[in-house]
Chain A
Amino acid sequence: MAELKYDDNGRLIFTEEMRKEYTILVPQMAPFHFEYLVDAFNSEGYNAELLRTTDYELIHEGMKYSHNDICVPAMLVIGQFIDAIKKKGIDKHKVALIITQTGGGCRASNYIALLRKALKKAQLDFVPVISLNANGFEENPGFKLSPRLFHKLHEGIVFGDLMMGLVHQTRPYEKEKGAVNALKATIDEELKEYFNHRKLFTWKKSKKRIQDIIRRFSALDLDKTPKPKVGIVGEIYVKFSPLGNNHLEETLEKEGVQVVVPPLYDFFLYSFDSRAHDIRRYGGPRKERLVLKALLWYIEVRRGKVRKLMRKAGFETPISYKALKSLIDGFIDVGTHTGEGWLLTAEMVDLIKHDAPNIVCTQPFGCLPNHIAGKGMFKKLKKRFPHSNIVAIDYDTSASEINQVNRINLMVSNAFRNFEKGNSQ
């Protein structure tokens, strides 16, 4: 059994021995992406397992072990972990947790500390917690974000964004109910193998795979009668996680609209870029800035190629990161980058300009950054784009669903009315 080792600050570290023996539990934060990311981890010699639980009890565990005023993502992630350790029948002495840490000026950066506190309260403080970050916080001998792993995660996000775009553009129009989900399931199964592959794939191989996926989605039998489009933006966890947003995508699709969710990758690019931006504006290591910029360039080139393939097959694609960034001119400064910061505003402008003026802006109850870049920008957006139709929804483990549904319903009703007006003109 692996020995428990601590660093100088008393933090339990994840050792090389643990890497061999332990299962790393990963919270489900974005269903389109995390399946691939976990497989990517495993191909690099880790034993990671994605937590797919959504049952109600985990919310209770979260409440029990975290501050009630903390935002809902932290509460749910903590609840999901503890619930899993307690219930899964796995050896709790052979399990570790992993969580992302962006390091921005938002309280989300503190999830990891809250998680450790919760574990201590639950008498599980022998469970190591790994921080997944690009800032060099908290190093662990048994876990390294190696270039290989980094590249594989990169692929995972690219594929996740691709699948998300394809599914959202086809599912509302499928003639045979369930066809899209079935296709996605088949492809996911194939991709499991793809991501579990130890060797890195060349672009040529990736490209072939992407083309194949796009081709299969193109081949679906669809009824292309247009539907109004509704965008989902907001705090990163509640934007993507069905557990966090009460299955918002599903709710909206049931109302008969097409959902548009801006890609996950932009958030990571934005995080790297923010760091680079601060170095330029307030000073800092020049070299780091150059590395970040190079990284941004590399990723964008890859994404650009995928976008091209999608467009060729007649699918809509997200705009480039650079184009997205230029949209905020006159709205908010690029220096606003706590939480989702200017990216949130940019995504709303992008949606409005690209045919989806109807938007659900999601945030945890009491989310500070969204006071600025979300709700704080509504007035400007409405003034510039009078036809925009934005609703802000606060998420919270105790919030009543009917209140949320009622507000979403108002937005959707207006979406349909505007859509019909637009069609009749």
Chain B
Amino acid sequence: MQRCDYLLSQLDVLEAEAMHIFREVAAEFERPVLLFSGGKDSIVMLRLAQKAFWPAPIPFPVMHVDTGHNFPEVIEFRDRRVAEIGVRLVVASVQESIDSGRVVEERGRRASRNRLQTVTLLDAIEAHEFDAAFGGARRDEEKARAKERVVSFRDEFGQWDPKNQRPELWNLFNTRIRRGEHVRVFPLSNWTELDIWDYVRREELELPPIYFAHNRPVFERDGMLLADLPYANRGEDEPAFEATVRYRTVGDASCTGAVKSAAVTLEQVIEEIAATRITERGQTRADDRASEAAMEDRKKEGYF
């Protein structure tokens, strides 16, 4: 269909909005950083950042908050992608935070480093004097995130105060902060999970292989399939078995669940996502299941 009425597709509008946000923040902050996990959202962010500044290189580094509980395929992908683009990678290590006594490892079978990441992230932001951190969070993901601003203020303790947020009007963003404070910036705020996948398809973006159906040893816990990796603390009563799975999100391997799937191509994955009746975080994130306000509470502390 030929469009002669100056309409743009939804992906074009979302892309333009994200590029505007990247440029605005790069222009108004001294030391931005892009949080890069190797997951699909941060892969899309990296592409948008490239487009925003092309043909110049991306004018800020990327940072991975490394829980140590990784999928090896994702780390391999991260290093390769970063090298291809030629952007500087900063790794903030939760293990180092544990070793230095900044945080204490949780105990028990469900021990996770998810919550510990917040301290590591805030310490790294302070140490590198980052004043703006781009995150890939989307408002459709979770109800606390639905209320978050695109440019979201964090006080000197890295805390979010949901009841005291700056109004955001038109395409104007208030970027003023004091030394020691920072903002989190969410260029993908208005994207949905399906928009992300449509964009991955349109831009032919490479994803880590764990997003596609593959065989791996898994076990069941709390109705989720977890990878049988050493740090998942599989118990005697949790038998491991081989299953064909893919991941919908990439997070800490000890609390990110897989879904059974035979989708090996991007088209097949998109077909499954479009038909699913469960949200990605509800299906695959143990960290959100703690309570009705689990995400809000973690976000107030300074979580992603």
Partners in one complex: no
Q: Which residues of B contact A (CB under 8 A)?
A: none
